[in-house]
C-alpha cells in the first residue's frame, strides 16, 4: 500500500469519525426520561407551616426529590378548600428567580393547588429548595452559581443532557406532581399545570407526562438557545445558520422546549406577547405543527405584549376547565389568515375564522422589515367584514422588504385565538405597490397614543391634545421607531412639545442603553424641546450616542423625587 493511499485512507477515517461524533443522534425527551421514576423514594415530608383561614387550608412543606443519585429538599406550598374531596389538582410553576405562589382564584373555584420552588438559594429568603453540592447549578442566582444549559461554566459543551440545570428542574417538577397526586383532597385523574415565564419554558416537558391532562404555558417556547442567542432569526435576509456546538445539538434535541411537541400528550395552550424576549416566536408557533394527531393545542398572542398577556388571560381558565374538568365549553380552531394583494396591488391580510356568526371582533396587526420578533413595531389595521371573512390593508414602504401580519379573533364567549404569523415579500407574490411613505412625525397628538404604554389621552392649553403617563414608577415606552416609517432620518434630532406647571426631571433611555436626564421647566403654556443624539450617554462605555437612526425604543421615566404624571407630552417629531 502506498503512503499516499494510507494517508488518504487514514484522513478519511478521521473525518468520518469526527463527522459521526458531531452528527451522533441525541436522545429524544422520552429516551432521556425513560429511567426516571418520579414516585421513587420516601417524600420525607416536613411540614413547616399549616393553617386554615377563611375556609382554605394552606400548607408549606419540604419534600425530597432524588435526581442523579442526589437528594434535593424541595420547598412546596399547597392550598385547597377545607373539606374538599376529589378536587382537581393544579401545578403552578413560577418564573426565573421567582418563588412559589398559590393563585387564590383557582383555589376559590375548587382546585387543589401546588406550587414549588426551583430557584434555590437567593438573597435572604427564609425557605427555598436546597440543592446538594453536586447539583449546585440548580440554583438560579448567578451570585450563588452558574446555571448550565448547552455549556458548562467554563464554556465547554455539555456531553450529556443530564449535565444541564433544565434536567434538574424538569425532574423536580415531576416529583412535585407526584406529591400533589398523593394529597388526600386530590383527584389524581384530573391534573393540570400552569407555568409562567421560565415556568412556561419547563412546562413543555411536563406536558409529556401522561398524568397531566392539560397545561397552560405563558411564554417559553421561543427557540431561545442558539437561535436567539446567536440572532438566527427565522426571517433574516439572507438566512444563515452558524454551526452548532455539540452542547447546542444535545440541548436542542433533548432539553429545549421545542424538542418536546412530538411527544406531548397534554392539551397545550400557549399564551404569549408578540414582542416577548424569549426569542423568535414564529418558530414557537411552528412547533404546534409537530404535535401528534388528536392532542389539542391552541395559542393566543397579545399584540405589543412583552412579558404581559392580560388581554388574553381569560383563555387559561377556559382551557383548564375544558380539558381537565371536561366541561362542555366552546373552543374552536385557530383562525386562518393569508397575505394577498388587492386589485390595486396593496398587500392585505385575509382572515377566515371558524364560526363567523360568533365573532365579536377581528383585530389585524402588521409590521415591516424587522427580522427580530421582539423588536417589531406592530401597527393596528382596520378590519372590514366581507361575508364570512375579514380583510385589512397593509400599506408598505418597500415591496422588497418582509411584511409580517397576523390576526386575533375574539368570539362572543370572550375566547381570543390568533392566526399563525404570516410573512411575505410583497414583490414576490404579484404586482405589489408601495403606498406608504416615511414620516418625520412620530406622534402629533390625539390618535396614536396607543403606541405609548401606560398613558391616557388628555387636552392641554389652547385645545392641543397629547398624552399623560399614568404610572410614575414604570413611565412610558414607545417602540414605534422600530418601524422603518418612523426611523430617524440622517442628522435628525428628537423634538417634542410638553406642558407642565411644576418643574420635573425625567429620564430618557433609548434602546435600553443610551440615557439622558431632561429638566422640564414649569410654565403656563406649551414648551418645546430638541434633544441632540450626543446628549445621550451609553451606560457601559460612557460615550455619547452617534445618531438617532438606530434607535427603535424610547422610555421616559421619572428621576427620583419627580413625577412624570404631571407632564403632558405632544407632537413628537424628527427635526434636522
> Do residue 515 and residue 555 come from a single domain?
yes
Q: Which grid cell sits at 21?
A: 461524533
Q: Is residue 2 part of a domain?
A: no
> Do residue 108 and residue 236 come from a single domain?
yes
Q: What is the pLDDT of residue 279?
A: 74
> Do residue 210 and residue 286 come from a single domain?
yes
Percentage with pLDDT > 70 across the chain: 96
Q: Which grid cell sits at 289?
A: 405543527
Q: Is residue 329 part of a domain?
A: no
Q: Name the DSSP letter for residue 168.
A: H
Average pLDDT, rounded, for the chain: 94
Q: What is the pLDDT of residue 165?
A: 98
Cβ(204)–Cβ(260) below 8 Å: yes
> Do residue 312 and residue 361 come from a single domain?
no
Q: Is residue 111 part of a domain?
A: yes
> Do residue 375 and residue 516 come from a single domain?
no
| Residue 22 confidence class, pLDDT cut points 50, 70, 90 | very low
Is the pLDDT at 231 greater than 70? The verdict is yes
| Residue 13 confidence class, pLDDT cut points 50, 70, 90 | very low
Q: Which residues pair with 359 in a beta bridge?
A: 411
User: What integer is the mean pLDDT of 250-256?
Assistant: 97
> Do residue 421 and residue 491 come from a single domain?
no
Spatial separation of the C-alpha atoms in residues 140 and 166, rounded to whole Å: 11
Q: What is the pLDDT of residue 278?
A: 82
- All residues at 6 or more sequence positions from 537 whose CB lies less than 8 Å from its CB, including other chains: 514, 515, 516, 543, 544, 545
Cβ(548)–Cβ(494) below 8 Å: yes
User: What integer is the mean pLDDT of 335-345?
Assistant: 98
Spatial separation of the C-alpha atoms in residues 121 and 438, rounded to whole Å: 51
Q: Which residues pair with 271 in a beta bridge?
A: 218, 300
Ramachandran angles phi, psi of 520, nearest 5°: -105, 105
User: What integer is the mean pLDDT of 249-258?
Assistant: 96
> Do residue 257 and residue 228 come from a single domain?
yes
Q: Is residue 11 part of a domain?
A: no
CATH number of residue 493's parent domain: 2.60.120.430
Q: Which residues pair with 466 in a beta bridge?
A: 458
Cα separation of the two ends of the chain: 77
Give me the half-sphere count of Cα atoms (radius 13 Å) on the Cβ side of residue 439.
16
What Cα–Cα distance (Å) separates residue 563 from each residue in 355, 472, 531, 571? 48, 6, 20, 21
pLDDT digits (tens, 9 = 90+) for 151-162: 999 999 999 999
Q: What is the pLDDT of residue 15?
A: 32
Spatial separation of the C-alpha atoms in residues 110 and 186, rounded to whole Å: 10
pLDDT digits (tens, 9 = 90+) for 454-469: 999 999 999 999 999 9
pLDDT digits (tens, 9 = 90+) for 92-114: 999 999 999 999 999 999 999 99
Spatial separation of the C-alpha atoms in residues 173 and 280, rounded to whole Å: 26
Cβ(66)–Cβ(41) below 8 Å: yes
> Do residue 193 and residue 131 come from a single domain?
yes
Q: What is the pLDDT of residue 24?
A: 62
| Residue 9 confidence class, pLDDT cut points 50, 70, 90 | very low
Spatial separation of the C-alpha atoms in residues 126 and 132, rounded to whole Å: 17
CATH number of residue 315's parent domain: 3.40.50.1820
Is the pLDDT at 305 greater than 50? The verdict is yes
pLDDT digits (tens, 9 = 90+) for 61-82: 999 999 999 999 999 999 999 9
**Pick the residue with more confidence: 474 or 16?**
474
Q: Is residue 496 part of a domain?
A: yes
| DSSP letters for 16-53 | HHHHHHHTPPPPPHHHHHTT--TT-S----EEEEEEEE
Q: What is the pLDDT of residue 280?
A: 77
Q: Which grid cell sits at 531?
A: 434633544
Q: What is the pLDDT of residue 538?
A: 97
Question: Of 271, 295, 323, which residue is a domain's last?
Answer: 323
User: What integer is the mean pLDDT of 208-215?
Assistant: 98
> Do residue 344 and residue 460 come from a single domain?
no
Residue 412 sits in which domain range?
336-428
> Do residue 413 and residue 483 come from a single domain?
no
User: What integer is the mean pLDDT of 227-240?
Assistant: 93
Tell me which of 18-32, 423-437, 481-495, 511-525 is least confident. 18-32
Q: Is residue 3 part of a domain?
A: no
| Residue 450 confidence class, pLDDT cut points 50, 70, 90 | confident
> Do residue 125 and residue 187 come from a single domain?
yes
User: What integer is the mean pLDDT of 404-412?
Assistant: 98
Is the pLDDT at 2 greater than 80? The verdict is no
Q: What angle do CA 432, 438, 439 make, to 5 degrees?
A: 145
Which is nearest to 475 in space by CA: 556, 568, 361? 556
Spatial separation of the C-alpha atoms in residues 90 and 321, rounded to whole Å: 11
- All residues at 6 or more sequence positions from 32 whose CB lies less than 8 Å from its CB, including other chains: 161, 162, 167, 254, 255
> Do residue 179 and residue 294 come from a single domain?
yes
Q: Which grid cell sits at 575?
A: 427635526
Q: Is residue 434 part of a domain?
A: no
Question: Of 295, 323, 351, which residue is a domain's last?
Answer: 323
Q: What is the count of structural domains for the chain?
A: 3
**10 Å Cβ neighbour count for 240?**
7
Q: Is residue 212 part of a domain?
A: yes
Amino acid at each position: 500500500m502506498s503512503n499516499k493511499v494510507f494517508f488518504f485512507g487514514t484522513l478519511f477515517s478521521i473525518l468520518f469519525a469526527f463527522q459521526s461524533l458531531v452528527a451522533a443522534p441525541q436522545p429524544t425527551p422520552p429516551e432521556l426520561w425513560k429511567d426516571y421514576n418520579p414516585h421513587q423514594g420516601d417524600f420525607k415530608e416536613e411540614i413547616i407551616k399549616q393553617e386554615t383561614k377563611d375556609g382554605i387550608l394552606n400548607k408549606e412543606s419540604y419534600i425530597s426529590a432524588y435526581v442523579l443519585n442526589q437528594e434535593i429538599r424541595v420547598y412546596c406550598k399547597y392550598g385547597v378548600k377545607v373539606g374538599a374531596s376529589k378536587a382537581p389538582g393544579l401545578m403552578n410553576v413560577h418564573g426565573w428567580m421567582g418563588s412559589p405562589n398559590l393563585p387564590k382564584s383557582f383555589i376559590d373555584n375548587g382546585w387543589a393547588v401546588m406550587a414549588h420552588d426551583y430557584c434555590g438559594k437567593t438573597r435572604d429568603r427564609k425557605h427555598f429548595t436546597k440543592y446538594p453540592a453536586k447539583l449546585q447549578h440548580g440554583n438560579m442566582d448567578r451570585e450563588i452559581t452558574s446555571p448550565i444549559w448547552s455549556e458548562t461554566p467554563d464554556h465547554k459543551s455539555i456531553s450529556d443532557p443530564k449535565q444541564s440545570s433544565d434536567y434538574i428542574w424538569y425532574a423536580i417538577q415531576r416529583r412535585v406532581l407526584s406529591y400533589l397526586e398523593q394529597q388526600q383532597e386530590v383527584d389524581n385523574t384530573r391534573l393540570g399545570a400552569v407555568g409562567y415565564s421560565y415556568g412556561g419554558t419547563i412546562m413543555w416537558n411536563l406536558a409529556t407526562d401522561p398524568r397531566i391532562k392539560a397545561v397552560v404555558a405563558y411564554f417559553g417556547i421561543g427557540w431561545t438557545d442558539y437561535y436567539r442567542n446567536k440572532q438566527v432569526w427565522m426571517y433574516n435576509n439572507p438566512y444563515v445558520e452558524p454551526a452548532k456546538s455539540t452542547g447546542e445539538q444535545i440541548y436542542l434535541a433533548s432539553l429545549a422546549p421545542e424538542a418536546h411537541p412530538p411527544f406531548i400528550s397534554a392539551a397545550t395552550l400557549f399564551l404569549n406577547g408578540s414582542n416577548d424576549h424569549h426569542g423568535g416566536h414564529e418558530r414557537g408557533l411552528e412547533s404546534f405543527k409537530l404535535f401528534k394527531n388528536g392532542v389539542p393545542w391552541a395559542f393566543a398572542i397579545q399584540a405589543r405584549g412583552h412579558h404581559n398577556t392580560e388581554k388574553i388571560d381569560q383563555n387559561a381558565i377556559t382551557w383548564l376547565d375544558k380539558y381537565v374538568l371536561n366541561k362542555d365549553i366552546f373552543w374552536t380552531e385557530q383562525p386562518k389568515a393569508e397575505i394577498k394583494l388587492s386589485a390595486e396591488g396593496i398587500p392585505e391580510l385575509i382572515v377566515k375564522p371558524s364560526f363567523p356568526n360568533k365573532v365579536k371582533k377581528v383585530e389585524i396587526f402588521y409590521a415591516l422589515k424587522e427580522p427580530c420578533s421582539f423588536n417589531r413595531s406592530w401597527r393596528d389595521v382596520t378590519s372590514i367584514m366581507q361575508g364570512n371573512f375579514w380583510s385589512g390593508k397593509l400599506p408598505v414602504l418597500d415591496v422588497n422588504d418582509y411584511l409580517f401580519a397576523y390576526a386575533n379573533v375574539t368570539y362572543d364567549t370572550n375566547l381570543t385565538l390568533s392566526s399563525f404569523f404570516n410573512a411575505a415579500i410583497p414583490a414576490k407574490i404579484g404586482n405589489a405597490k408601495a403606498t406608504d411613505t416615511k414620516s418625520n412625525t412620530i406622534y402629533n397628538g390625539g390618535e396614536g397614543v396607543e403606541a405609548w404604554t401606560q398613558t391616557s389621552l388628555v387636552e392641554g392649553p389652547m385645545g392641543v391634545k397629547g398624552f399623560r403617563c399614568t404610572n410614575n414608577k414604570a413611565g412610558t415606552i414607545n417602540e414605534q421607531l422600530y418601524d422603518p416609517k418612523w426611523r430617524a432620518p440622517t442628522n435628525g434630532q428628537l423634538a417634542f412639545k410638553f406642558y407642565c406647571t411644576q418643574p420635573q426631571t425625567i429620564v430618557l433611555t433609548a434602546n435600553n442603553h443610551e440615557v439622558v436626564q431632561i429638566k422640564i421647566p414649569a410654565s403656563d403654556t406649551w414648551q418645546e424641546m430638541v434633544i441632540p443624539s450626543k446628549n445621550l450617554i451609553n451606560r457601559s462605555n460612557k460615550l455619547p450616542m452617534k445618531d438617532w437612526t438606530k434607535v427603535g425604543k424610547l422610555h421616559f421615566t421619572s428621576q427620583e423625587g419627580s413625577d412624570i404624571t404631571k407632564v403632558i407630552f405632544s407632537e413628537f417629531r424628527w427635526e434636522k
